[in-house]
A and B are shown apart, each in its own frame.
Chain A
Amino acid sequence: MAFENLTERLSKAMKNLTGRGRVSEEDLRATMREIRLALLEADVNYGTVKKFVANVREKASGADILEGLNPAQQIVKIVNDELTATMGEEAVPLNKSPKIPTIIMMAGLQGAGKTTTVAKLAYKLKQEQHARPLLIAADVYRPAAIDQLEILGRDLEIPVFQIGTDVDPREIVRQGLAQGIANKNDYIFIDTAGRLQIDEELMQELKDIANIAQPNEILLTVDAMTGQNAAETAKGFSEALDLTGVVLTKLDGDTRGGAALSIRDVTGKPIKFIGQGEKPTDLDVFYPERMASRILGMGDVLTLIEKAQRDFDEEAQAKQLEKMRQNTFDFNDFVAQLKQVQSMGPMEDLLKMIPGMANNPALANVNIDAKQFSHLEAIVSSMTPAEREDPDLINPSRRRRLAAGAGRPIVEVNRMIKQFDQMRKMMNQATNGNFGGMDKMMGGAGLDMSAMMGGGGMPSGNFGQKVQNFAIKQAARRLQKAKKKRGKK
């Protein structure tokens, strides 16, 4: 996941400080050097790094007057605040025109992900606001760029305006806008061709398009893997165009994501969205404070909860919750939950949003195999309807049959049934307000963890909140313990 390496390095930098009663000038300097290197290694623009470190140093040296927090905590807090500030404090929503249509124009280098972003953003608006967007295909240069947008439009059921590649992009935009206005589309997206910010001719074209369309939003698309050149690119585009925001793409890679930190600083423009996956739904609003805690390895529970809420079917959840309470949670529900959890994305990524997990050494090399889920599913599929509804029916002979049917070793079947039982018990206790059993579940690692996630399922509503609060507290306690241990060494 993005930022991992930055997270690792930053926490290493600050580890030296934990467990100290007071922080000497020497310690502070060493930590600052580490932070500086960590940021530089993450491709953060060097000007930004300089500013960042100077700010942290200044705040840190003025901070020793404050009592209460221990010095290390104070520095973590200062770094966290500074990260948030560098990325722009608060999430900035999409500009909207007072009367329709809202016109959104894209700009960026080749291969940054403009076309994909247009499709994702239009789809997001369509899903969340029932918007009726129109996409204008104004990339006449790259072979088949128009086809790409058309196919995406067809798949997502969003209309695309195109008149081939033999027409000047300015004319395409003119006609597209006319059509959008005539059809009363509420959002009009202009997908432009990728270009270098030093290509005067093409930059002029972009300026002309902006003049014609008078967009409410000009979004610069930046590849999160960009190196120091990100500043140069952003500067070039923001000088030519009146940018209103930035979309950071390909954040699902293992980039250290320095661009996220530099862009705001260099352009003064907010990052509005981040692209983190190949699916049309993989576009999220950018929250600086959440990103800051993710970078520092402090987890991002808010996003996790939101993800859970977005991807979970509330009605199904309510039913399951009821079933848990009545202790009739069966294998059918189990599979349903598995599927829901899977739909939230890779398990490793979800786990890392839990506070303290990102840097948990136990999880360092965990690569939770998506196949494990399919295996579990296969075992359940091998059950008869009666067995699914009444798990107690399953005796050793039936287990052997299940193993053969699913093509998995019998130990796996046994393990799964055992976990299922534990889960059921725990859920029953939890819904009845007794958290005693949870402790044991939290202790496990590996499959236990995924079963926990699958089982916990983070249902919406009150119960979900409780489980979450508990998990957070638990994780925090663990983190403290681990820190103490490390401090002793």
Chain B
Amino acid sequence: MGLFDIFRKKKTEEIDEAVESTDELVSEQENSDEPSDEIEVANQSSDETQTTTPEYVSENQEITAEVEEQQIYDKGLEKSRTGFSARFNKFLANFRSVDEDFFEDLEETLVGADVGFDMAIKISDELREEVKLENAKRKEDVRDVIIKKLVDLYEADGVNEDGTMHFNLQGTTVILLVGVNGVGKTTTIGKLATKYQQQGKSVLLAAADTFRAGATKQLQEWGKRAGVPVVSGKEKADPASVVFEAVTKARDENYDVLFVDTAGRLQNNVNLMQELEKMKRIIKREIPSAPHEVLLVLDATTGQNALQQAKLFKDSSDVTGIVLTKMDGTAKGGMVFAIRNEMHLPVKWVGFGEKASDLREFKSEEFIYGLFKDLIA
């Protein structure tokens, strides 16, 4: 349970210290070695994303920002967590002895949390072994074994995944957003554009969703709010033409970041998936290193179909990362396990609400901690 001990310690420390001076916070962090490691790691990753050289003060600000981030995660995941752990607690309260029914219930519980069918089977099979080996009979023992297993599995899957955003060091960074209908692509672009604009980058948006009525207007509205120009084409125009215009404009006028909004498409629609490939080809032709990121937007309320979406979108447009939206609902979040386990695609952003600031970088440890906090308290 070492992992959770770390989290618990880190959490209380951070909340205690958050209001106090930043110097104290740093010294406190230095005393306990593991959390400070993590903050260093976090800083390194944010160094990569920011072109400015971080100074001492800004470092501290980042730490405070980190604390806030944890709190937002806690708040945003409140609903998911109650779902997930209430489920587990209820399930464990009913449980009497370890028998076949127990494992059947376990499978069902895991599937119920949208963990994914294969994942659930894998866990229950491994647990069968584990429980036999450890001779765990008591409720607490079994619970510990389960949590440990989930964390182990999750961590094993997360190895070698790169959750940071990639940027073009010379010239325009092109970021393409793809996904099925109604997952929140346009909203996510609006939020990301606001974020990068505030970081002082020059941002351009391409409204390549020429199909859905009002999609271009929706993006233009976000552009207006963020103070960012939007390239758009005529209604029902070939989206590739909008992409071409936007890419050449971004390149010639030296924009830092170009976001391309695409129309929602179901992953089994071959023609529309080819249209996506075409857009990608055009981007590549104009800027050979682009697109630097292809983000697949997934609705957290989606069930097992999310895996199918990830698979087919990855095939057609080499998805580099995932944006998980609508996590402020009651979705169980078990999907993240499934995504990591089966596709090895890193989750890069998580959407917790409708405001621009509700889009957060994905922190897997915090995410997991948020889900299991009540379980181990």
Which residues of A sit under 8 angstroms from B197, Cβ to Cβ?
A: none
Binding-face segment, B3-11, B41-49, B107-115: B107-115
Q: Which of B328-366 contact A (CB under 8 A)?
A: 328-332, 335, 354
Binds B, one of A61-69, A86-94, A109-117, A402-410: A109-117
Please tell me if B299 contacts chain A, counting CB pairs below 8 Å. Answer: yes
Task: Tell me whether A361 is interfacial, beta carbon within 8 Å.
Answer: no
Q: A111's closest neighbor in chain B, by CB? A: B182
Size category of the binding interface on chain B: 35 or more
Q: Is A168 part of the binding interface, using a Cβ–Cβ cutoff of 8 Å?
A: no
Contact among B217, B268, B299 for A111, CB-based, below 8 A:
B299
Residues of A within 8 A of B111 (CB): 40-41, 46, 228
| 186-213 of chain B: CB within 8 A of chain A | 187, 190, 211-213
Contact, CB under 8 Å: B213 / A148: yes
- A148→B218 contact, CB < 8 A: yes
- Encode A138-166 as 1/0 by CB contact (under 8 A) with B: 00011111111111100100000000000
Say how far A338's CB is from chain B's closest CB, in angstroms.
18
Closest B-chain residue to A143, C-beta based?
A: B221
Chain A stretch 91-117: residues in CB contact (< 8 A) with chain B: 109-113
Surface stretch bound by A, among B139-147, B152-160, B302-310: B302-310
Contact sample, A vs B, 13 pairs, CB 8 Å cutoff: A141-B354, A143-B222, A143-B225, A144-B215, A147-B213, A147-B217, A196-B329, A198-B330, A225-B305, A228-B113, A229-B303, A253-B266, A253-B268
- Given contacts A40-B117, A228-B111, A253-B305, whether A110 and B214 have CB atoms under 8 Å apart is no
Q: How far is the CA of A142 from the CA of B184 in the complex (A)?
A: 11
* A152 and B303 within 8 A (CB): no
Find out whether the CB atom of A110 lies under 8 angstroms from the CB atom of B114. no
How many whole Å from A147's CB to the nearest CB in chain B? 4
Residues in B whose Cβ lies below 8 Å from that of A145? 214, 218
- Chain A residues with CB under 8 Å of B270's CB are 367
Give, as a whole number of angstroms, the nearest-CB distance from A142 to chain B: 7
Across the interface, which residues of A come within 8 angstroms of B181, CB to CB?
111, 113, 250
- Of A18-26, A254-262, A289-297, which stretch is located at the interface? A254-262
The answer for the CA separation of A1 and B302 in the assembled complex, in Å, is: 17
Chain B: CB-nearest residue to A258: B303
State whether A113 touches B222 (Cβ < 8 A): no
A50 and B332 alpha carbons, distance in the complex (Å): 20
Task: Collect the chain B residues with CB atoms within 8 Å of residue A111's CB.
Answer: 181-184, 299, 326
Closest 9 CB pairs of A and B: A227-B303, A111-B182, A148-B214, A143-B221, A43-B303, A144-B218, A151-B213, A144-B217, A147-B214
Decide if B330 touches A143 in the complex (CB within 8 Å): no
A226: Cβ under 8 A from any B Cβ? yes
Inter-chain contact A278/B211, CB cutoff 8 Å: yes
Counting chain B CB atoms within 10 Å of each CB, which of A1, A113, A228, A233 scores highest?
A228
Residue from B213, B270, B302 whose CB has the most chain A CB atoms within 10 Å: B213
Q: Which of A222-256 contact B (CB under 8 A)?
A: 223, 225-230, 232-233, 236, 250, 252-256
CB of A42 within 8 A of chain B? yes
Q: Mark B278-314, 1 if CB is under 8 A from A, else 0.
A: 0000000000000000000001011111101000000
User: Which of B220, B225, B299, B326: most chain A CB closer than 10 A?
Assistant: B299
Q: Which residues of A contact B214 (CB under 8 A)?
A: 144-151
Instruction: Name A180-208 residues within 8 Å CB distance of B.
Output: 196-198
A110 cross-chain contacts in B, Cβ below 8 A: 182, 184, 326
Is A370 among interface residues, defined by CB-CB distance under 8 A?
A: yes
Interface string of A1-20 (1 = CB under 8 A from B): 10000000000000000000
B267 near A40 (CB under 8 angstroms)?
no
Q: Knowing that A229-B114, A229-B331 are A-B contacts, what are 7 other residue pairs whose CB atoms are under 8 Å apart, sorted by A's residue number?
A: A112-B182, A143-B222, A144-B215, A155-B213, A196-B329, A229-B303, A256-B305
C-alpha spacing A259/B303, complex, angstroms: 10
Tell whether B79 is near chain A: CB-to-CB under 8 Å: yes
Contacts of A109 in B (CB 8 A): 301, 326, 329
Given the known interface contacts A43-B305, A110-B182, A112-B182, the answer about A142 and B218 at a Cβ–Cβ threshold of 8 Å is yes
**What is the CA–CA distance of A143 and B180 in the complex, to the nearest angstrom?**
19
Find out whether the CB atom of A226 lies under 8 angstroms from the CB atom of B267.
Answer: no
